[in-house]
Amino acid sequence: MARLFGTDGVRGVANRDLTVALSLSLAQAAASVLGEHARSEGRRPIAVIGRDPRISGEYLAAAVAAGLASSGVDVFDAGVVPTPATAFLTADIKADFGVMISASHNPAPDNGIKFFASGGHKLADEVEDQIEAALSKPFLSPLGAGIGRVQRFADAEDRYMVHLLGAISNSLEGLKIVIDCAHGAASAISPQVFADSGAEVIVIGNDPDGLNINAGFGSTSMSALQAAVLEHNADMGFAHDGDADRALAVDANGAIVDGDQLMAILALALKAKGELARNTLVATVMSNLGLRIAMKDAGIDMIETKVGDRYVLEQIREGGFTLGGEQSGHIIFSRFATTGDGILTGLMIASEVKRTGKSLQELAAQMKTYPQVLINIKGVDKSRVDSDKGLQEIIREAEAELADTGRVLLRASGTENLVRVMVEAADEGTAHSWADRIARVVEKNLAI
């Protein structure tokens, strides 16, 4: 039987895969596992629930709240807030766990449920397995006064915004910034935070109707932000995804500044201020070669993890590091957040622009982006990626020619029957040439 939890909670098409019955049962199972510590101390467990504005989130949040309350958990319903807000609020009120209902950058028909442990941290795999196992056991069924209460978390947004504003030490006055909220969870909070920080704010993608989340706006559709930055002659723009745990940027010329470039800017800034813990940046194997070279030139160590922000988070926690993230714009500042936070990322970047007096384009130029070609090959035996001799031979040949000016990465997909071939090189032609050659070998040698 396939594992219910994926890399970021339980996801699927709402009302088909993610049903009311499953949501209710998941909440009851989570209450039995994540509320155990509170019950052992003789107190009632407390949970925070947040959601993005997609239409299915309304009934899913109700189902989760019902499952928790019926299991003796007191619920604080924060309503529509970003994923990092749910994580922060869980820690801020010392709740026993938190629940975020969101499918992040996915389209509106999808939704998901993910849990945060006390302190706002993502769950370890073994805890998710315990929750999944609890689905087949009797649920808690308290009576009378043992039943939990559900109440509106009235000051949830204010708490989170005060927290964000406290993360930067300088005003953003004089900066004109476009914010693309992806018709998602950041629609109310992000523009207000940037305005409160002193910036002149132009907002797009901030009219969620439950069905338009991530549609034509946000970090997966950057053209709207690029056009708005140029139209309004803004200094920069930031695009969130549906649950605002990521951000990508656009400079004054309309050029996209991706997560790798944002991490480079922030790592160099933190190092200069003596705030980059253990002089180390944590990124994934998919980060651009240019990031590795920029960090090496600056004397900054770089640790690579598997793809997925949860693996970046695990490494940050284990090593006590300050900063890490992904090319997609999931960036984690361990001093201020326990998960990726797109609003915080935007504030930090804008703060650095204001502090240095340099444009975002100048700061992004501290990292040269190498051409990166990615080819997905379907219908092959992904289990033989590391063992096929012919494939390993051509990879060695490519690596020998590219040397320090390029990189080859092959990854078997964790969810699909496909292999990803990624090649970076000093020029586009070389990257395409090697990617095509390696892809042909994959298709021939690993054919099913």
Predicted pLDDT of residue 347: 98
pLDDT tens for each residue of 17-36: 999 999 999 999 999 999 99
Catalytic residues: 104
* Helix ranges, 273-366 (H): 289-297, 309-319, 342-356, 360-364
What mean pLDDT do residues 159-174 have?
97
Residue 290 · residue 367 · CB < 8 Å = yes
Place of tokens 């944590």: 282
Work out the percent of the chain whose per-residue pLDDT is above 70: 99
Position 330 pLDDT exceeds 70: yes
pLDDT tens for each residue of 265-304: 999 999 999 999 999 999 999 999 999 999 999 999 999 9
What mean pLDDT do residues 105-117 have?
97
Residue 294 · residue 367 · CB < 8 Å = yes
Predicted pLDDT of residue 261: 98
Work out the percent of the chain whose per-residue pLDDT is above 90: 94
Position 1 pLDDT exceeds 60: no
Q: What is the pTM of this model?
A: 0.94
Position 232 pLDDT exceeds 90: yes
Bridge partners for 420 per DSSP: 376, 411
How many whole angstroms separate alpha carbon 112 and alpha carbon 96? Answer: 20
61-73: b (≥16 Cβ within 10 Å) or e? bbbbbbbbbbbbb
Predicted pLDDT of residue 413: 79
Position 183 pLDDT exceeds 70: yes
Position 446 pLDDT exceeds 70: yes
What mean pLDDT do residues 428-442 have?
96
Both tokens of 217, joined, read 């706006």
Both tokens of 440, joined, read 């042909």
C-alpha dist (Å) from residue 78 to 112, 343, 421: 17, 18, 42
Predicted pLDDT of residue 307: 86
Q: Which of 263, 174, 182 is nearest to 219 (CA)?
A: 182
Predicted pLDDT of residue 418: 87
Identify the structural domains of the chain with CATH numbers, from first to last.
Answer: 10-159 (3.40.120.10), 166-364 (3.40.120.10), 372-445 (3.30.310.50)
Both tokens of 201, joined, read 């704010």
Higher-pLDDT residue of 383 and 324 is 324
How many whole angstroms separate alpha carbon 250 and alpha carbon 272? Answer: 24
Q: Average pLDDT over the chain, rounded to whole?
A: 96
How many whole angstroms separate alpha carbon 130 and alpha carbon 360? Answer: 45
Could you tell me how far CA 372 lies from the centroid of its own chain?
A: 21
- How do strand 74-80 and strand 46-51 relate by DSSP bridges? parallel
Helices (H) and strands (E) in the chain, counts: 15, 18
What mean pLDDT do residues 373-393 have?
93
Residue 425 · residue 402 · CB < 8 Å = yes
> Could you tell me the pLDDT band of residue 308, with boundaries at 50, 70 and 90?
confident
Which helix (H) or strand (E) is 187 found in, with range? none
pLDDT tens for each residue of 120-164: 999 999 999 999 999 999 999 999 999 999 999 999 999 999 999
Position 414 pLDDT exceeds 80: no
pLDDT tens for each residue of 67-84: 999 999 999 999 999 999
Predicted pLDDT of residue 411: 87
Place of tokens 């609020």: 89
> Hey, how many other C-beta atoms are within 10 angstroms of the C-beta on 112?
23
Both tokens of 89, joined, read 């609020």
Contacts of 21 (CB under 8 A, 6+ apart): none
> Hey, how many other C-beta atoms are within 10 angstroms of the C-beta on 159?
18
Predicted pLDDT of residue 415: 62
How many whole angstroms separate alpha carbon 215 and alpha carbon 231? Answer: 21
